[in-house]
Amino acid sequence: MPDVETRTHPGARRPDRTRRVGSGGIGLAVHEWGDEDAPPVLLAHGGFDFAGTYDVFAPMLAERGYRVVSWDQRGHGDSDHAPLYQWEADIRDSLAVLQSVTDGALPVIGHSKGGSLMTQLAASMPHRVTAVVNIDGLPSKRSMPDVQDRDRTKLLARDLENWLDHRRRAADAERKPGTIEELARRRARMNPRLEQGWLEYLVTVGARRDDDGWRWKIDPSLRMGGFGPWRPEWSLYRLVELAVPFLAVLGTEQEEMGWGTTVDDIVPYLPPRGRAVQVEGVGHFVHIERPADVVEMVVEHLAPVVAT
Amino acid sequence: MMLRHNKVELALWELRAGSGRPLLVLHGLGERSDPGLVPGTDAWPGPVHGLDFTGHGASSVPPGAGYYCEILMGDVDQAIAHLGPVTVVGRGLGGYIALLIAGGRPDQVRGAIILDGPGMHGGGPSPTTPNLLRPEQTGATPDPVALVELAQDVRPPDYARTFAWQASALSGLDTAIAVAGVNRPPWLAEVASQPGVVETDLAGALELFASV
C-alpha cells in the first residue's frame, strides 16, 4: 500500500499554503486558499472538525477574490495537542492566527463552535473585526431533556462520573483505528446528512495512517458533550453588543451536531447591523450542503466592508 | 509523589503520616501545599495530604493554559484514584473545587469542608466583560495565566447548588458539606442554604467527618 492514500472529491481543493503559528506555546496549523495579496478573511471550523472540512467552501470563496485563512483549532487536525482545552483559549488562538495575517481588522466567518468563537472574538476585540458571518453557531437553549430535578441529579451524576472516568484514562487514550470506510461511517453518525464519499475524503485529510489502520488526528482526550456553568444564552448576550455587520446563516433541518436554534430565537438579540437567514431543507453543515449559496451570501455581506 | 492528569504532572504531598481515611487539603488560588496552610488539621485522626493544582506549587505548567475549575476537579480525582476515599478541605478556590468533587465523586468524598481563601469568588455569578489579554507563561508556578483565568471562572449559584444536591443525595451522608468560613459569595450563600450542608467551624467540621 502507498504511504499516503489520497482521495478526491468534486470541488475539493487542499490549501494553497500551510504554515504554523504559535499561540502561547501551542503550535497551530494554518491553512490558506487564494491570492496572498487579496483581502483576508478568517475562517473558523466547528468542534471535532478541522480546516480541511472547508476544502470545498474555502477555495470557492477564494475564487471570489479573497485570501481565505483557516486553522486547525488546538487538539484538532494538524495542530498541537494541548494539555488543556477551554473556550477563551480557543479565542486567544484565533487572535494569534489573525495577528499572523494583519495588525488591523478583517472579516471573520465561523461554523458551529467556530461561529460562536468568532462572534465572541468580535465582541472582545471589536477593533480587530470588520464583519461576522456565523453559520449555525448560535446556541440558544440547553439541549437537556426536560426532567424532574431528582432525575436530573442522576443524569448529571452519570455525566460527571463518565467525564471523571474519561479524565483518569486520558493520559493513555488512543483513537480507535480502522479503514477509511470505517472512519467515514463512524463520522456519519455525527454528520448523517453528508455523503459517504465526502466523509471518506475527509478521513484522508483529518486522519493519519498508522501501522494498524487510520486514526482521526484529533486529541483523544477531547470528548463530545460535557458540562459546566456555561449557559447558551450567554452567547446571545455577546451577539447583541456587536457594531459590525453580522449575518447568521441557519438550516431548517435539525440534526445531531446542531443546536436547534431558529431565526426566531436569534431575532431578539440581533445587533443593529445584523440579520439572520434560514436556508430551507439544509442541516447543520450549511456550507457543506450548499457551498455556492453560502459563498454568495458571504460575498454580498462582506461587500460593504471589503474592496476586492 | 507525582501523579499524572492527562499531560499534566501533579504533586501530591504527604503532609502528615497516619492510618485511616486521609484528609486531603486543597490550596487557594496562587497558593501551594504546605503543612502550615490550614492550621487546625492537627485534630484530624488520620493522615493528611496536600495536592498542588495544575500550574501551582510543584505541579507542571500546561503550555497554552486554558484553566477552568472542572479541570481542577479532575486533578483532585487523580488524587482520589491514588488515595481512595478522602475527606477534603479547601481554601477559597480549593473550597469551590472541594464542592465540585463532592458532587462528582459522592461515593469517594466523605465530607467536604469549605474555608475562606484566595479565589473564593471566582469570576462571579455570570460573565462580565470578556478579556482575552493574558500574561506570558514562564514555566514558573503559580502560572500567572492560572491566576487570571481562574479569577474569571464563572460560578452561577444554581450550578453550585447542583453539586451540593448531588453530594447530599448520592453520598449517603446526613451531612456532606461543611461551610466553615466567613465569606459568602453568591455560589456559597446558595450552597450553605441547601439540605445536607452545615455551617460550622473547622474544628467542628473535622470532628463531624472524622466520625463518618
- Residues from chain B that touch A229, judged by Cβ atoms under 8 A, are 153-156, 159
Average pLDDT over residues A72-81: 98
- The model's pLDDT over B25-35, given as tens digits with 9 standing for 90+, comes to 999 999 999 99
User: Does the pLDDT value for residue A148 go beyond 80?
Assistant: no
Cross-chain Cβ contact A171/B131 below 8 Å: no
pLDDT for A2 equals 47
Pairwise pLDDT comparison (A146 vs B23), residue with the higher score: B23
B74 touches chain A (CB under 8 A): yes
Query: Residue B36 — pLDDT band, cuts 50, 70, 90?
Result: very high
pLDDT for A152 equals 61
pLDDT for A145 equals 45
B134 touches chain A (CB under 8 A): yes
User: Does the pLDDT value for residue A149 go beyond 80?
Assistant: no
Query: Residue A1 — pLDDT band, cuts 50, 70, 90?
Result: very low
User: Does the pLDDT value for residue A127 go beyond 80?
Assistant: yes
Closest chain A C-alpha to B39 CA, distance in angstroms: 31
Choose, out of B82, B97, B132, the residue to mutate when testing the contact with A (most A CBs < 10 Å): B132
Query: Residue A6 — pLDDT band, cuts 50, 70, 90?
Result: confident
Average pLDDT over residues A192-218: 96
Asked if A288 contacts A56 with a C-beta cutoff of 8 angstroms, the reply is yes
In 3D space, the residue among A266, A269, A263 whose CA is nearest the CA of residue A251 turns out to be A263
pLDDT for A5 equals 73
For A158-201, give the DSSP string.
HHHHHHHHHHHHGGG--PPPB-HHHHHHHHHTT-TTS-HHHHHH
Asked if B83 contacts B105 with a C-beta cutoff of 8 angstroms, the reply is no
CB count in 10 Å sphere of residue A226: 14
CA distance A160 to A156: 6
User: Does the pLDDT value for residue A7 go beyond 80?
Assistant: yes
Q: What is the model's pTM? A: 0.95
Burial label for B126, CB within 10 Å (0-12, 13-18, 19+), is: middle
Residue B23 vs residues A5, B92, B101: alpha-carbon distances, Å: 55, 17, 14
B195 touches chain A (CB under 8 A): no
Closest chain A C-alpha to B67 CA, distance in angstroms: 7
Cross-chain Cβ contact A229/B159 below 8 Å: yes
pLDDT for A153 equals 67
Asked if A232 contacts A139 with a C-beta cutoff of 8 angstroms, the reply is yes
User: Does the pLDDT value for residue A93 go beyond 50?
Assistant: yes
